[in-house]
Structure 1
Amino acid sequence: MTDFVKFLLIGLGSGGAYALLALGVVVVYRGSGVVNFANGGLALFGAAVFYETRPDLSDAGAVAVATVLTAVLGALIHLLVMWPMRHSSPLARVIATLGLLAAIQELAEHRYGTLVKFVQPVFPAGSVEPIEGAAVGQDRLLLLGTTVVLSAAAWLVYSRTRFGLATTGVAESELAMASLGWSPNLVATCNWAVGGGLAGLAGALLSPITGLSPTALSLTVVPALSAALVGGFSSIPLTLAGGLLVGVLESEATRYVTAPGWATAVPFVVIIVFLVLRGKALPLRSHLVDRLPRVGSGRPRARLAVPLVVLLAVSLAVSGSGWADAVTTSVTYALICLSLVVVTGFAGQLSLAQFSLAGVGALVAGRLADAAGFPFPLALVAGVLATVPVALLVALPALRARGVNLAVVTMGLAVVISSVVLANPDYTGGAVRGTVVPEPEIFGLSVFATEHSERYAALAFLLLLIAAWAVSNVRRGRAGRRLLAVRDNERAAASVGISVVGAKLYAFVLAGAIAATGGVLMAFRNPHVEFGQFDVFASINAVLLSVIGGIGYIGGAFFGGPAAPGAMVQNILSNWFDIAGWFTFISSVVLVLVVVFTPDGAAHENARGIARLGARRAAHRSRTGKADPPEGAPAAGDPPAADGRTDRRAVERVTPMTLELRDLTVRFGGVTALKDVSLTVAPGEIVGLIGPNGAGKTTLIDATTGFVPGYGGQVLLGGEPVDGLSAVARARAGLTRSFQSLELFEDLTVEGNLRAASDPHGFDAYFLDLVRVEHGPLPATASASVDEFGLRDVLDRLPSGLPYAQRRLVAIARAVSASPSVLLLDEPAAGLDEASTRELSALIRRLADEWGIGILLIEHDVSMVLSSCDRVVALDFGTVLATGSPDEIRVHPGVVEAYLGSGPDTPVPVTAEDGGRPAAK
């Protein structure tokens, strides 16, 4: 018990430091919406300033100078980097802070090296014994007290003062606060200064305890972010509790867990479990979708690739081993970057654990080659396969966490893998000998990098080409459409039957396998495997390189890899400049500039240049009478389509099924959104659902389609209850929906949107797409919906380039392409003019009459509902107010009073559009 209390008190001291760092993270997030991964770098800066000024100043003076200068640095980061990026996605801003973290750490290592520097203590030496035998240093307790006092002060400021309320207001709406006379820029600058000052203070107070170590102080961002995660990046008391929890768990694990690395890992495991339990499988309706970097088409460009391959081969043949080593470094980093293209560029999941996964592949392959005598090819395959379950483990948090939260979790997992596995001598072959791999051979030919560097570089490049070819196939196939759909909008993907869970797991597994390939190649470059190269900072650097290259483009890996330290770019520049020691710092600065000015990376800019060149070429050929065939024209050898359309044929009526809701009840906390709502939608019938805002109409659709779990009552489809089915399973069963806000897959063309909804849902695509791409015609239902909605001329367009009315048609056509038996439309005519609304009404009527689809129509345009529906249900305050024919609803006293706004005796005009019925007012 004495030991437990002793380590508890020690943990509270270190936890106080983590909480103080986390407090700076929370302040910055509350004021600007940015999760500051550079917080560890700011703490390092504060510690460095304290170390430099301590000989000339008092303790208090040095701490004050460190705090003030770090506050100034925080304000400058906002003004020079974050404010110009205020309209960028949260992901882009997070990546910018990662670049700043890498730059500050690199500068510190230049100044102080990698060895720990002793720092004079700030707090008095000595210890206290709260209970007998449990002595703890005064400095830990004083650090804890400082944190508690500052946390209390921060809570008072942000909950009781006008500045705190203004900070909350700016986070909610910059425009509203600007209209009240507050400058969002000034408020954010002040919060960045406060957050920076807190980080600098934490660094100054922590450095006498830990020593001045650039790596260790930079890594304090991991427990700080974990603590902030507990507080939801907003709650100061919960953040304080989270920091103390991390510190206590870390300290107790040091005492009671003997396995190497677990003392560091245990707190993050607990935090990850907490986050997973708190998260949701699908985001809520209020979830805002981040704008992510653009993605490429995935089409191979042979005219560009072949000359580059030939040039590289010639350079390897005529250059020395130095150039071959640079090529190998470029290729291995390019493989890690390619894995990030898959998991982050295509699937939208920011992973900071890719180098850790590479290390797992290197560890397994290296140990099998060393201890079991596996030949290199077999060891490579075994290393890749062994990484798959670890990649699945890393992917599990992605099923419940998204965006920045996921980045924090994967960063913590990288620390866990590095400390528990890759730094554990029990796994790596012992502290003295380690892992020594034999000379790799392929079919009896030695490719040992030390003796045949050009052969090893050629082999590595061949593996990169194979991986890039496979990823290109995935991007253009069914699997790629699923990944992009999930990246763009998880709710919309689920609504057309795409398994969000399956897509995310596949992205992490494929990315992990590619990263493991790169890791094995890194391991076998030298006889002695160095596992220290697979740390969390290497993963961060890989993300930076991928963003510089273009994280949404396969070509981005070919741009990012050569920019790695020791790779081709550095090799070339070293011929003119002595930049060996500064290359990582330069890369970090370039990353920040790229994210600010060209966030889509070099590959995107290259693609734009090629597109402009192609446009000029096409214009020239047009003037000379030699125009190229139009985009989308069938290539030679393609099967001819009757009437020139894609698989144009009559579509059979959908499988008839009736939707029935029985006493549907939905509660959110103490609020009842729906109460005992019952209705039916028969095949080929249109049922209108009307009611004022807040009546529960969209909630009814959400519950019916599986997006609101835990409701009361029953939902039956075709007479069978579907209450136990997920949103994905209900969509596959024939129950689909549209969204009021469209929720299109913006990175897929119109055709891609329709294919994503109509593609077969088989798991085989995840394997077959690696080796081939299907170029078949659109499925029959999707093809018919193209003609029904008049989309034939815009199939190759992105939705963002279409007029609003046409975007609405694409959203409905996508839902129809899934061949639903029942279709739930959520305000499909919102924002349309009168003519477009009439056309849409006629189109919806045809879907019911000719396709046999049962339709539940939510719409505020009462004229449209009354003219096109067979029956109408009116909701008010979550309960059914009336059910009947359009004529009955038109004159129902309760409906008129609650919603229509005119008395039943009020004469209303009859219009042709209403089919002879009086038009509602």
Structure 2
Amino acid sequence: MDFLTYASLGLSTGGAYALVALGLIAAYRGTGVINFAQGALGTFGAYSFWKLHEAGLPLPIAIAAAVVVSGLIGVAFFAIVGKRLAHAPVVTKILITLGLLLVLEAVIRLVWTNHQITIDPFLVSGGFEVGGIRVQNISVLLGVTALVATTALHALFTRTRFGLITMAIQDTDLGAQSIGIDPRKWGSAAWGLAGVLSAAGSVLVLPITQLSPTSAATILVPALGAALAAKFRRFWVAFGVAIGAGVLEGLVTGLYDAQLARAVPHIIALAVLIVFARTDMSRGTREVKAVFHVGSGRIRPLHVVIGTAVVVTLVTFGNGSTVDALSLTAIFGLVALGIVVSTGYTGQVNALPLTFAGISMLVFGAVSHHGASLLTAAAAAVVVSLVVAGLSSIVFVRARIYEVTIGSLAIASIVQVLVFSVDKFFNGTTGWAIGDTELFGISFSNIVEPQNFALLAWTVLIVGLIVVANIRRSAVGRYLLSVRQDERLPAALGINAVRAKFTSILLSGTLWGLAGILLAIQRGFISKGQITLEGFTYSDSLALIAFTILAGTGHLAGAVLAGLFAPGGLLASILSFTPDINDWLSLFFAANMILVLTTEPDGVVGQFLRLRGAAFRTFRSAPVQKEKVHATLERQ
């Protein structure tokens, strides 16, 4: 009977997954948008509950207030950006909701805490036995709550005016407007309902989990998998898959290994994606143009010379903190360059940049620790990055834009649990010490020769920029750009979208792997604590995507600018007057990413180029205008 006891334990987490998945379906059925901030809405509600109850508010009122707060955030967000989301390209919808996720996580860290918190049991505790099976009361509570919510939502969306109206809005909001229906009002109601469901699941599951700013990561991916299995339409299917994922997680926890059990719901989500790949997620959208304009790929030699001179001067005469910030700027610029390829060129929102970098760090550290030369260790890390890119392409090359994002979130979560949190990949508690860092007789150790390492990092970035620029101008670059908006048109022209996506994954994976090598040399030592605590989760990757979008994800210069924005980069170093500067920067850039995507999607670089072009046109047209004026006066 033990396995039934363990299965009953999984009802609690399964119920939480189900509530979040139900919210995802409610938001999608009401607006045609997949809300990737669904888990963060729940986490925000959970923190609100914790602080309100800690302040002395009665338990029922604190729970109700927390649920209402998350619902109001959903209502307000869609009321503000819903009009622009309605006809936005799919990639814009994904990025805007991911921006909300990053904003909520940053607010939680700044307002409340950046540490994990254990919440004592509330509402119910203990359990009972039925036929020798031990059942926890928290499992019954969450399971019954999810069951009641599923029944109510199914009735709401199939038998009420609300369901008919939201279905009409999703299919064609213009048609709904023509008969007097306000899409924003009803869409906001659907998002508010989604926020309420997410908060309910996140609050009720608190006694058996730990509360942290990234708690959303443990719930979002399994919920996305359940919603995807239901094609974002069938509440009962999502309920069944979510409960099944929780029950299987409980079984693996009790009968095999707790560490593996943490990855089970994410593995199920990935398996669902593979089975249901190429689900039609285009309903409710009307894509008329790509979201990002793409630069020409031409690099002016004068700009390279000036930039190189500035970097060399700063490295030579800067102090230690400035040199270290310049090194990190180049490294994260390399990561951002991979994002330019994957998101700017091919239109895929891939949440794996720092996952690739972390794996590359591990491989480089392990090989270098055993006495290999710098080039040998680097070659091994790059090869592993290419292998990982090839394996991930199995999921991505035939997936649509939404599915690429869901799959990358699932893979990042699996690697975080099964690789980055396991001692054996870090030489136990000993860690990996970086050995040889010499190349052509020159030491590039960041500890011994930080200036040399900074120059090495910038050299790799500049070479990467030149390579990507040449690819952009080549037939391969045009191949990549062809699939960034719609695969059907290039397919009609005989272009193989699978091959284009595969090329993009290999190229961006290589760039991220090179960044991981540089991070390993920069640290000099690789331990589990560094990977776990210093930012290699998918939320950190999403933050870098936000920096790149704000800078200009369709332009090579945007990669360099994003490196300046990144945590530890030159901008963070200059503004390091507060210990929370990285959180403030994350909040600022995430909020501005939402603003940029709704107003100026080409970012800082695109806006600069547009203003420069307008200024040049005005300057060139000034003499012509003067001649016209003189000619008019002479005729008079």
Q: TM-score, normalised by structure 1?
A: 0.64
In structure 1, what is the equivalent of residue 232 of structure 2? 233
Q: For the residues of structure 1 that align with 2:119 and 2:241, how far apart are their CA atoms?
A: 27
In structure 2, what is the equivalent of residue 457 of structure 1? 454
Query: Does the CA-based 8 Å contact 1:550-1:604 persist in structure 2?
Result: yes
Identity of aligned residues (%): 29
Query: Does the CA-based 8 Å contact 1:358-1:516 persist in structure 2?
Result: yes
Residues 459-484 of structure 1: CA distance to partner in whole angstroms, max 9, x if unpaired? 10100011111111111111111111
The Cα shift of 1:588 comes to 2.0
In structure 1, what is the equivalent of residue 24 of structure 2? 25
The Cα shift of 1:568 comes to 1.0
In structure 2, what is the equivalent of residue 540 of structure 1? 542
The Cα shift of 1:506 comes to 1.1
- Tell me, yes or no, if structure 1 residue 549 matches structure 2 residue 546: no
Query: Does the CA-based 8 Å contact 1:82-1:93 persist in structure 2?
Result: no
Residue 464 of structure 2 aligns to a residue whose secondary structure is: helix
In structure 2, what is the equivalent of residue 142 of structure 1? 141
Distance 1:282 1:126, change over 3 A: closer
Residues 870-893 of structure 1: CA distance to partner in whole angstroms, max 9, x if unpaired? xxxxxxxxxxxxxxxxxxxxxxxx
Distance 1:438 1:254, change over 3 A: same
Residue 135 of structure 1 aligns to a residue whose secondary structure is: strand
- Residue 519 of structure 1, aligned match among 516, 521, 529: 516
Residue 307 of structure 2 aligns to a residue whose secondary structure is: helix
In structure 2, what is the equivalent of residue 179 of structure 1? 178
Task: Name the one with the larger strand percent.
Answer: 1
Task: Name the one with the larger helix percent.
Answer: 2
Distance 1:77 1:536, change over 3 A: same
Q: For the residues of structure 1 that align with 2:213 and 2:580, how far apart are their CA atoms?
A: 23
In structure 1, what is the equivalent of residue 379 of structure 2? 381
- Tell me, yes or no, if structure 1 residue 152 matches structure 2 residue 151: yes
The Cα shift of 1:612 comes to 2.6
Distance 1:555 1:446, change over 3 A: same
Q: Tell me: higher relative CO, structure 1 or 2? Use CA pairs within 8 A at least 6 residues apart.
A: 2
In structure 2, what is the equivalent of residue 44 of structure 1? 43
In structure 2, what is the equivalent of residue 100 of structure 1? 100
What amino acid does structure 1 have at the position aligned with 2:311?
L
Structure 2 matches for 1:346-365, cutoff 5 A?
A: 346-365=345-364
Structure 2 matches for 1:408-807, cutoff 5 A?
A: 408-430=406-428, 432-438=429-435, 440-529=437-526, 530-532=530-532, 533-574=535-576, 579=581, 582-616=584-618, 618-619=620-621
Residues 424-443 of structure 1: CA distance to partner in whole angstroms, max 9, x if unpaired? 2112211x111111252222
The Cα shift of 1:284 comes to 10
In structure 1, what is the equivalent of residue 81 of structure 2? 81
Residue 147 of structure 2 aligns to a residue whose secondary structure is: helix
Residue 412 of structure 1 aligns to a residue whose secondary structure is: helix
Q: For the residues of structure 2 that align with 1:577 and 1:599, how far apart are their CA atoms?
A: 31
Q: Which moved more, 1:116-125 or 1:34-43?
A: 116-125
Query: Does the CA-based 8 Å contact 2:91-2:348 persist in structure 1?
Result: no
In structure 1, what is the equivalent of residue 113 of structure 2? 113
Q: For the residues of structure 1 that align with 2:112 and 2:577, how far apart are their CA atoms?
A: 27
The Cα shift of 1:172 comes to 0.8
- Tell me, yes or no, if structure 1 residue 220 matches structure 2 residue 225: no
Query: Does the CA-based 8 Å contact 2:45-2:202 persist in structure 1?
Result: yes
- Tell me, yes or no, if structure 1 residue 274 matches structure 2 residue 286: no
Residue 297 of structure 1 aligns to a residue whose secondary structure is: coil
Residues 389-445 of structure 1: CA distance to partner in whole angstroms, max 9, x if unpaired? 111121212233211122011110111122212222112211x11111125222221
Q: For the residues of structure 2 that align with 1:195 and 1:375, how far apart are their CA atoms?
A: 53
Q: TM-score, normalised by structure 2?
A: 0.92
Distance 1:203 1:268, change over 3 A: closer
Structure 2 portions without partners, runs of 5+: 628-636
Structure 2 matches for 1:231-310, cutoff 5 A?
A: 231-258=230-257, 261-280=259-278, 291-310=290-309
Q: For the residues of structure 2 that align with 1:286 and 1:79, how far apart are their CA atoms?
A: 17
Residues 60-98 of structure 1: CA distance to partner in whole angstroms, max 9, x if unpaired? 221111111211111111123344444332322221222
The Cα shift of 1:589 comes to 2.2
Q: Which moved more, 1:164-173 or 1:278-287?
A: 278-287
Q: For the residues of structure 2 that align with 1:577 and 1:109, how far apart are their CA atoms?
A: 12
Q: For the residues of structure 2 that align with 1:613 and 1:309, how far apart are their CA atoms?
A: 27
Task: Give the aligned CA root-mean-square deviation in angstroms.
Answer: 2.5
Q: For the residues of structure 1 that align with 2:575 and 2:119, how far apart are their CA atoms?
A: 38
Q: For the residues of structure 2 that align with 1:139 and 1:328, how far apart are their CA atoms?
A: 49
Distance 1:117 1:531, change over 3 A: closer
What amino acid does structure 2 have at the position aligned with 1:513?
T
What amino acid does structure 2 have at the position aligned with 1:550?
G
The Cα shift of 1:490 comes to 1.9
Structure 2 matches for 1:884-895, cutoff 5 A?
A: none
Distance 1:412 1:249, change over 3 A: same
Distance 1:485 1:448, change over 3 A: same
Q: For the residues of structure 2 that align with 1:457 and 1:145, how far apart are their CA atoms?
A: 57
Q: For the residues of structure 2 that align with 1:623 and 1:169, how far apart are their CA atoms?
A: 53
The Cα shift of 1:246 comes to 2.1
The Cα shift of 1:116 comes to 2.6
The Cα shift of 1:578 comes to 8.1
Distance 1:155 1:580, change over 3 A: closer
Distance 1:480 1:522, change over 3 A: same
Residues 516-559 of structure 1: CA distance to partner in whole angstroms, max 9, x if unpaired? 00111111112222222322222111211121122222221111
Query: Does the CA-based 8 Å contact 1:343-1:507 persist in structure 2?
Result: yes
What amino acid does structure 1 have at the position aligned with 2:72?
V
In structure 1, what is the equivalent of residue 389 of structure 2? 391
Query: Does the CA-based 8 Å contact 1:332-1:518 persist in structure 2?
Result: yes
Query: Does the CA-based 8 Å contact 1:282-1:400 persist in structure 2?
Result: no
Q: Which moved more, 1:52-61 or 1:155-164?
A: 52-61
Residues 308-346 of structure 1: CA distance to partner in whole angstroms, max 9, x if unpaired? 221122111111111111111111111111111112211
What amino acid does structure 1 have at the position aligned with 2:546?
L
Q: For the residues of structure 2 that align with 1:614 and 1:544, how far apart are their CA atoms?
A: 30
Q: For the residues of structure 2 that align with 1:75 and 1:566, how far apart are their CA atoms?
A: 35
Query: Does the CA-based 8 Å contact 1:439-1:527 persist in structure 2?
Result: no
- Tell me, yes or no, if structure 1 residue 129 matches structure 2 residue 129: yes
Query: Does the CA-based 8 Å contact 1:44-1:218 persist in structure 2?
Result: no
Q: For the residues of structure 1 that align with 2:256 and 2:386, how far apart are their CA atoms?
A: 27
Q: Which moved more, 1:391-400 or 1:614-623?
A: 614-623
Q: For the residues of structure 2 that align with 1:584 and 1:492, how far apart are their CA atoms?
A: 37
What amino acid does structure 1 have at the position aligned with 2:484?
R
Q: Which moved more, 1:34-43 or 1:455-464?
A: 34-43
In structure 2, what is the equivalent of residue 61 of structure 1? 61
The Cα shift of 1:245 comes to 2.3
Query: Does the CA-based 8 Å contact 1:347-1:507 persist in structure 2?
Result: yes
Q: For the residues of structure 1 that align with 2:586 and 2:96, how far apart are their CA atoms?
A: 15
In structure 1, what is the equivalent of residue 634 of structure 2? none
The Cα shift of 1:121 comes to 2.7
Q: For the residues of structure 2 that align with 1:544 and 1:439, how far apart are their CA atoms?
A: 35
The Cα shift of 1:575 comes to 6.5
What amino acid does structure 1 have at the position aligned with 2:330?
V
Distance 1:623 1:307, change over 3 A: farther
Distance 1:601 1:522, change over 3 A: same
Q: For the residues of structure 2 that align with 1:509 and 1:547, how far apart are their CA atoms?
A: 21
Structure 1 portions without partners, runs of 5+: 626-921
Residues 171-227 of structure 1: CA distance to partner in whole angstroms, max 9, x if unpaired? 111122122221111101111111111112222212222132222245422222222
The Cα shift of 1:157 comes to 0.6
